[in-house]
Amino acid sequence: MAMNISVQFEVITWFQNRRAKLKRDMEELKKDVETVKVLSAHKSFLENVNDMNILKKKIMHNDGGGSPHK
């Protein structure tokens, strides 16, 4: 009977540890998703800035490199 109780405690402990690990893994995944969202937004912003710089260079080249249009 003592052996049966010991096995039950081992099973209970195993499941508790498993749930704790799953919880940690889920929290880590949530952080990873948030990081990807932030990096994606930064990438999009940088691409927009780059596109604006390219347009600015084209406008300046077509304008003769000088004054703004009136």
- Give the number of domains in the chain: 1
Please report the pLDDT score of residue 67 as a whole number.
56
Q: Tell me the residue range of the domain where 37 lies.
A: 27-62
Please report the pLDDT score of residue 65 as a whole number.
58
Segment 46-55, tens digit of pLDDT: 999 999 999 9
Per-residue H/E/C for the chain: CHHHHHHHHHHHHHHHHHHHHHHHHHHHHHHHHHHHHHHHHHHHHHHHHHHHHHHHHHHHHHCCCCCCCC
Task: Give the model's confidence band at 5: pLDDT under 50 very low, under 70 low, under 90 confident, else very high.
Answer: confident
Domain-embedded: residue 19: no
Segment 27-52, tens digit of pLDDT: 999 999 999 999 999 999 999 999 99
Domain-embedded: residue 44: yes
- Structure token pair of residue 34: 């948030």
pTM over 0.85: no
